[in-house]
Every structure is written in structure tokens, then in C-alpha cells.
Structure 1
Amino acid sequence: MAFTKSSMLFLFTLFISSSFIDALPLFKRDQCPIGIYQGTLLYIYPSELFIPQGIIVPVGNKYKFSLYGFGVQMYKCNSVSRTWDFVGPEANIYNKKVLKDPEDASDYLVGNHFFQKEPVNGGRVTWESTIDCDDSSLISNLLTQIPSPDGPKNLPWLLLIATAHNGDGVFSDVTFTIRINTKQGIAPPVDECGNNYQDGDIYRSEYSTRYLFYNLDQ
């Protein structure tokens, strides 16, 4: 069977494309799908994003992948001090942006986001994989924060540093995390604690966000 120039070019292109895809991190065919959604490589830096100066990751680290978070930020009413004490997040993390928590979003659910009960090397903020082929988790501590550019009704944007890792998987080598594009999630007005809410009551404030994960630039 004779090969024409066009067929040879097609086979060569197919070989190169396959080799290129296999060489990309988080996209090997035998790897877990964290950071991938329907062939979209979420570890390719989203060039449309602007990271403000106050939360830029230190030199020597590179962007690895991103995920979306949807859940609640919890606040506890302290009627003595008339304040809302931050308890922590309770959220799911997804490969796809979800505006709400629809039933079919479970197809893109890849992990949980919460606080450790006790600090681990000073950190409590945790992301944990929930898919079968990845048992990794990441624990971090807050470094800096800035007000949301979208206004005070949204959670601040954060820069966090890793303090511990567990398991084997996509979170195992993460060094820094940025939280951006936050929507809602703030505590109620202070005067509602002690009036509409009693001491010790927990307020669950719904929020959504995007997390950018980084590792060492080696």
C-alpha cells in the first residue's frame, strides 16, 4: 500500500499530537481527571484573569491548575462581643464552574473544602480530593488578603501557603493557592447577632469562587 504525502503528513501530525497530550501534566490517559473538564486543560493559565499585586505568588512558583468552589462560609454569633466569629468553609470543589449546586454537578465534583479542627503546621484551610484514583489533600495557611474588586458584599481574595500535604495525587506538590472571583459569602450585619440570631447560632453564607493552585517551578 502506497502512502501519499498528505496521508504521511496526517499520520505524523497524529503521532505528534498524541505524544504532546501524553506529555502534558494532569492529562495523561491513565491519570485522574482533577483539573480537566471535557478536554479543557485547566492547568493552562487562564490568561483572562488578572491577579492583583497584593496576592501574587512568589517568584519560583508556577501555575499548575484551577478548580471552582461552591458552598458556604460559616459564622457563629457571639452576642457578648456582638460580632460574627468566622468558623470556616464547608464547600465542594469542581472541575466546572457551577452557579448553584444542581444535581448533575456531581459529574464534575472532585473534592471538598473545609477547615481542620486543629492547625497542622499552622494551617487549617484544606482541599481534599474525593475521587477514587487520587487520595491527596492540601492544608494551607493565610498569607495575605485584599478586598474583592467586585465590592464589599463579596469575600476577599486570598493568597495561601501550603503547610502540609497528605496522600498521593494532584495536591501533593502544591505550594501556594490563590482565591479569586469570589461571589457573596460574607457575614450578616453585626446588629443581627443578638437580635435575629442568638448566641452560638451558626449562619451559613452561600458563596462561590475560583482557586488557582501553584507548585515549584523546577
Structure 2
Amino acid sequence: MVRPRPAAGGGRWVAISPERLRGWLDGFYGRHDGAVEAGLTLTGASNGDTATLYPPPGLDEVSDIDSLLAGLARPPRIGLLLVRKGAVAVGVAAGTTIVESKVDRFYVQGRTAAGGWSQQRYARRRDNQADAAARAAADVAARILLPHLPGTAAEPEDALGALVCGGDRSMVDAVLADRRLEPVAALRHPHLLDTAEPRLTVLVEAATVARRVRIHLVP
């Protein structure tokens, strides 16, 4: 289990790997003298504490605990798109295994302390370089992800069930604005992963993190 962190509006978030979820559920029932299930929310019998489970990407249609556990046993493939201004990492994950990937780096000039005209000139150059990086990242994403779309993949079970993004939100948005990636963007999961500079090891870690079940605990 990942260390709990505060949730906006109250309570806290935890993230549980699929392999540990049954044990976590048993623990919740034990700590609360049982619980009532309503969809994906558990309410403790002893004090009214609640735990609301959020399925990992690709399992958004599950509506109760049993269907969540069944879905976790047969996880869909997911696409991964990690972008920052200086790099992109794109992959297809089957469980925690990266079955196809590409990592690329770009030059985007750092910020300058110069003022006046020089600062404006450097800012324009930086913006142009960032735009070029987004276009190059879109090329990589198209090459890796488009062959795995539903209806395109060689086998139905190899099709992407979701797209998980991470890194710089503005750069991710810029990449997915490419018209070629419209069907990929349609699979985008709303949760953005907080990742380091994209590289292969970060991509592998993202595949593991993306599989976790997020749980909102109150109190």
C-alpha cells in the first residue's frame, strides 16, 4: 500500500496493488466489525467510516466490488504517455509488462534571467522549441499507440482499454491535440500520474502505478 495522503475536501487517499486488494478489504471489514457495500463504497458497521474504491484505467465500467475483483484478474492493456518539455516516453503495458515502447528526448531551452528584449526573444524561442517537441512527441505516440486501438489491434485482447498520461499536463494536452491522436485521446483516463523526466525506467514504474486501485477513505 502506498502511504496515505490527504484528500481535498476531507479524508485521505490510499492506493492498493491488485494483488493486495482482497487482503485490504478483509482488513477493512475486520477493523469495522463488518461493512455495508453500496456499489464501490464500503461503510463500516462500527462507526460509519467509508471507503470508496476507484477502479484502475480500463475498468471504468465496473459497478461493484465483485466485478472490480473479476476485472482486476483480467486487466486490459493500457497505453502510457509520459511527457515533459524535454522528453517523451510512450508504451503499451500488459499488466506490469511493457510490451512496446519508445523514449525520445528534445532540446527545449531553459528559462533565462535576462530582461527586456532579450527575455522576450528567449521566451519566443523556448515556446517554438516546446511546440516542436510536442509535434515530435505526437509522432512517437502515433507510431506506438495507433496500431493498438480497438478495431485495429490484431487480437481483441491486445486492444487498449485506456490511455494513462503523466508528466506535464500542458505538454500532454498539446501532444493529444494532434488530429491523428483523436481516437487515442478518447481513451484518456482523467487521473494524471506525477512522474519524473520520462525514460524507460519511469515508464515501467508508471505501468505499476497505473494498475493500483485508488481508495478514498473518510475520515
TM bucket, shorter chain: under 0.3
Larger relative strand fraction: 1
Q: What TM-score do you get using the length of structure 1 for normalisation?
A: 0.26
Larger relative helix fraction: 2
Q: Which has the higher contact order (CA 8 A, sep 6+)?
A: 2
Q: What TM-score do you get using the length of structure 2 for normalisation?
A: 0.26
